[in-house]
Amino acid sequence: MSPLNANPPGPGTAPETAAEARGDTTAGGRGAAGTGTTRPGAAAAGAAPAGAAAAGVAALERAGLKAAVRERVHAHRAELLALSRRLHAHPETAFEEHRAAAWCAELLRDHGYAVTAPAHGLATAFTATIGSGPVTVALVCEYDALPGLGHACGHNLIAAAGLGAALGLAPHADRLGLTVRVIGAPAEERGAGKALLLDAGAFTGVDAAMMVHPCPVEVADFRSFALGTLAVRYTGRAAHPSLNPHEGRNAADALTVAQVALGLLRQQLPPHWRVHGITTAAGTAPNLIPDTATAEYEIRASAAEDLAELRTRVEDCFRAGALATGCEVELTRPEPDYLDFRSDAGLLALWRANARALGRPEPVERGPFACTDMGNVSHLLPAIHPVLDITGGACAPHEPAFAEAAVSPEADRAVLDGAIGMAWTAADFAAGHRTADGG
């Protein structure tokens, strides 16, 4: 690693070469000035001020600790990959992740973490803590699956990587100046579990938060859409379609008018705005004018600031359906909004350097894609959400093939790389805070 880089990319420092990642400070490694190994007596000869020498000692110590963190993650390789496969084989959807949460909490408890489960009013959430350092880093674990598709978003991998980072840091947290908090966050796919946890105080006192996610491409600076949900219910008047149709008020027609309006609205929406949904009810028999129609819709915008405008325009389309057909419409929000994810620049720079040291593929730059409630966390505190390539573009999340990829050799590598990369980044972040505070 290069803990002695004179121009660190952000808070703390991070490894730049594989040798440095191993803590190798012999020939080819970097010493206190970044130009070779530190010679005995160099400080006495006036080669570097006392403060720089002290910083060099601290940096070399961190290099050794980071090497130990890596070794510890690899020592738990079989345990972590077994957990990933166990979660994969027993998928549980939002707020139903009872086994997943219990398995994750049990593993952490077995390795010395103080575990609270359930936590913050959610039956399938947990928190786990170790260390007493002045800097608190949250490792966020997701473990919910998709209805009908199992772990086609790879949340089994996310949980295993987060737990791997936690195990790697556990024996070294105090020496690194860390308090490690693992947050088991249910219901990412539906339900905005992290938004609920934020409101309940799960992230109170956290200085930085991080997680990784599998993907068909490697992206360090992940950006997501902001997402809002909309439940629609039309109420009309039932009637016979041939005997007395004039007395009816067709709720299904109201929804049809709204869908036509939405189709026309899309012509004028910016490129990164999305509107999509499903009809959940629109009548029970063809010989009965339906008095009820319901639908579920999602809206997405590139930034949270745009979501309110998009919501107003979409809701007006549904109101138009009611106006045109003489029906009543009820519009509700089933769950909290998902805010767009915003990477913290300093934390991201540390991750990039650590991922490079691990030999991860060179990340690409992409505009916003997908949505995550981790975005809500990123609006309140420094956070990163790197995505790790496990398919090379062959398939994407929410496809059946991605569920298979989530337990592939590439996924296993992502578990270990994600665990080590997050643990190293947490260590570097804590070191940066100590330096900034004069510690």
**Count of helix runs (H) and strand runs (E) in the chain:** 12, 12
138 and 196 assigned to the same domain? yes
Beta bridge partners of 275: 299
147 and 288 assigned to the same domain? no
252 and 322 assigned to the same domain? yes
Location of structure tokens 């959940």:
280
Give the residue numbers spanning the domain of 200. 79-224+339-436
Residue 421 is assigned to a structural domain of this protein: yes
400 and 343 assigned to the same domain? yes
- Predicted model pTM: 0.84
Q: Taking a C-beta distance cutoff of 8 angstroms, is the pair 186, 330 a contact?
A: no
105 and 180 assigned to the same domain? yes
pLDDT for res 21 = 40
Q: How many domains does the chain have?
A: 2
pLDDT for res 42 = 29
Helix axes 409-436, 77-89, angle to 10 degrees: 120
For 254-303, write each residue's pLDDT tens digit: 999 999 999 999 999 999 899 999 999 999 999 999 999 999 999 999 99
Helix axes 155-169, 77-89, angle to 10 degrees: 150
Residue 182 phi/psi, 5-degree rounding, is -95, 130
Cα torsion at 384, 387, 388, 393 (round to 10°)? -160
As a whole number of angstroms, the distance between CA 67 and CA 21 comes to: 7
259 and 294 assigned to the same domain? yes
Mean pLDDT for the stretch of residues 204-210: 99
Smallest Cα–Cα separation from 373: which of 341, 344, 408?
A: 341
As a whole number of angstroms, the distance between CA 157 and CA 142 comes to: 9
Smallest Cα–Cα separation from 8: which of 307, 321, 435?
A: 435
Helix axes 345-357, 409-436, angle to 10 degrees: 130
201 and 124 assigned to the same domain? yes
Percent of the chain residues past pLDDT 90, beyond the cut: 82
- Looking at residue 310, which CATH number applies to its domain? 3.30.70.360
**What's the mean pLDDT when you consider all of the chain?**
88
- Count Cα atoms within 13 angstroms, Cβ side, for 163: 35
Domain boundary among 332, 347, 372: 332
Q: Taking a C-beta distance cutoff of 8 angstroms, is the pair 128, 162 a contact?
A: no
- Looking at residue 191, which CATH number applies to its domain? 3.40.630.10
pLDDT of 373 higher than 70: yes
113 and 210 assigned to the same domain? yes
Residues with Cβ within 8 Å of 143's Cβ and at least 6 positions away in sequence, in order, are: 87, 92, 97, 100, 101, 104, 155, 156, 158, 159, 184, 186
pLDDT grade for 438, boundaries at 50, 70 and 90: low
pLDDT grade for 50, boundaries at 50, 70 and 90: very low
As a whole number of angstroms, the distance between CA 160 and CA 158 comes to: 6
Lowest mean pLDDT among 70-74, 172-176, 366-370: 366-370
pLDDT of 210 higher than 80: yes
pLDDT for res 55 = 54
pLDDT for res 63 = 77
Q: Taking a C-beta distance cutoff of 8 angstroms, is the pair 257, 320 a contact?
A: yes
Smallest Cα–Cα separation from 257: which of 318, 328, 329?
A: 318
pLDDT for res 303 = 94
Mean pLDDT for the stretch of residues 128-155: 99
275 and 381 assigned to the same domain? no
As a whole number of angstroms, the distance between CA 154 and CA 37 comes to: 43
For 216-264, write each residue's pLDDT tens digit: 999 999 999 999 999 999 999 999 999 999 999 999 999 999 999 999 9
For 342-364, write each residue's pLDDT tens digit: 999 999 999 999 999 999 999 99
pLDDT grade for 436, boundaries at 50, 70 and 90: low
275 and 184 assigned to the same domain? no
pLDDT of 335 higher than 50: yes
Q: Taking a C-beta distance cutoff of 8 angstroms, is the pair 119, 125 a contact?
A: yes
Dihedral sign for Cα atoms in the order 189, 192, 195, 196: negative
Position with higher pLDDT, 24 vs 79: 79
**What does the block give as tokens for 19?**
């040798």
pLDDT for res 159 = 99
Residue 39 is assigned to a structural domain of this protein: no
pLDDT of 423 higher than 70: yes
248 and 204 assigned to the same domain? no
343: left (phi over 0), alpha (psi -120 to 50) or beta: beta
pLDDT for res 39 = 26
pLDDT for res 34 = 31
Residue 137 is assigned to a structural domain of this protein: yes
Residue 197 is assigned to a structural domain of this protein: yes
pLDDT grade for 22, boundaries at 50, 70 and 90: very low
For 301-328, write each residue's pLDDT tens digit: 999 999 999 999 999 999 999 999 999 9
83: left (phi over 0), alpha (psi -120 to 50) or beta: alpha
Q: Taking a C-beta distance cutoff of 8 angstroms, is the pair 13, 428 a contact?
A: yes
Domain boundary among 275, 310, 332: 332
Position with higher pLDDT, 433 vs 431: 431
Pairing of strands 292-301, 135-142: unpaired
Domain boundary among 317, 332, 347: 332
Mean pLDDT for the stretch of residues 338-342: 98
As a whole number of angstroms, the distance between CA 109 and CA 101 comes to: 12
269 and 147 assigned to the same domain? no
